[in-house]
Amino acid sequence: MIRPHGADALDPRFVSDSNSRTALLAEAQTLPSIVLNSAAAANAVMLGGGYFTPLKGFMNLADAMSVTTDMKTGDGLFWPVPILNVTDNIDGIRGAKRIALRDPNVIGNPVLAVMDVAGIEEISDEQLDTMTAKVFGTLDMGHPGVSVFRGLGRYCIAGDIQVLNFSYFEEEFSGTFKTAVKIREEIGERGWEKVVAFQTRNPMHLAHEELCRMAKERLNADGIVIHMLLGRLKAGDIPASVRDACIRKMVDVYFPENTVMVNGYGFDMLYAGPREALLHAVFRQNMGATHLIVGRDHAGVGSFYGPFDAQAIFDELPAGSLDIEIFAADHTAWSKKLNRVVMMSEVEDHTPEDYVFLSGTKVREMLGQGIAPPAEFSRPEVAQILMDYYQLEDRQAAVGE
């Protein structure tokens, strides 16, 4: 199986021994504490699950700036995005060497992790601008990732952590949320060696399904891990529970048994385009995937990135940065001429009229009206789940008016 990133074994920061965890929870009640923002809480969950191996905690400002400008930590580890615990108020933890980190996403703000504080530093305007511009490629506050990042605060709290739970993800997405440790174990149990990962924050339409199938066949892979984001998204995106139902229905009906695993991870979407694609590759390597499908506008939003910037950035990496490889995919769509889903770059004698295209707005309107998109666009079983969701949403919106 592929080795984890920068290590011989995963280093999950979750405290698996129940006695140790109980003792730490008791200790946490005596410690100064802060309520994390959602982004930092998601980082803690990813550290807990081993997805961010070999990191042991949150970066200091020097490492964050090194990652920002050179995509490597001070000790030379390739890493594409700063992993930070940033806050706007440190009054309750000034001078503390050990603190409790509380969950912002669960009622009562229970302790999520215990942290050994290596340092607290203030981020300057120049540093914040550099991080924003390099990671997101823009300073435009209209970018949803930029607006979130710049609103987190100015104090960077660095240090190793011990994670005590996985926030709301285990309970709310039981059976779907999996740590990198668990996914590696299951890949091993299935006897898979070559594994393709598919990243999604959306329900999968027919073109996505066929793209997974193409990648598996062309790479002669043993299996596919459809790995969906379960954390926060921008307004208007489809909730994770609905996406989960859609994807599981598609897999159950249309894929052979023991060829697809459906799992999710507890992270908030950054919408950082190329840099986020690299982060996706890092933690997919950690979970045991040998290949990651990187499609058109991977992890992008609006028109902030070129359609293939997220593929091109992999070609710019120094040799040895990652062991995982990418499966570079063009836009896929149903060809009326060939009567099948194709990658548009691979077919000749096609005009835009030869493909079945539907805008997101048009699909949303159809689903809200109880009209299923054409079979060339979406499986009927998936469309039904989405129609039920959108019609319920519309009824609730009407009641609230």
- The helix (H) or strand (E) run that includes residue 387 is helix 380-400
Q: In 3D, which of 264, 292, 267, 262 has the Cα closest to residue 278? A: 292
How far is it, in rounded angstroms, from Cα 157 to Cα 267? 19
Return the SS3 of 240: helix
Pairing of strands 119-122, 86-87: unpaired
Alpha-carbon distances, residue 235 vs 94, 144, 203, 269 (angstroms): 35, 9, 16, 12
CA 299 to CA 45: how far, in whole Å?
A: 20
DSSP secondary structure letters along 246-291: HHHHHHHHHS-TTSEEEEEE-------THHHHHHHHHHHHHHT-SE
What's the rounded Cα separation, in Å, for the pair 183 and 264?
Answer: 10
Residue 96 in tokens = 């503390």
For the record, the structure tokens of 44 come out as 């803690």
Q: Cα separation of 243 and 198, whole Å?
A: 14
Q: List the catalytic residues.
A: 201-202
Give the containing element (helix H, strand E) for 20. Answer: helix 18-28
Rounded distance between C-alpha atoms, residue 111 and residue 193, angstroms: 38
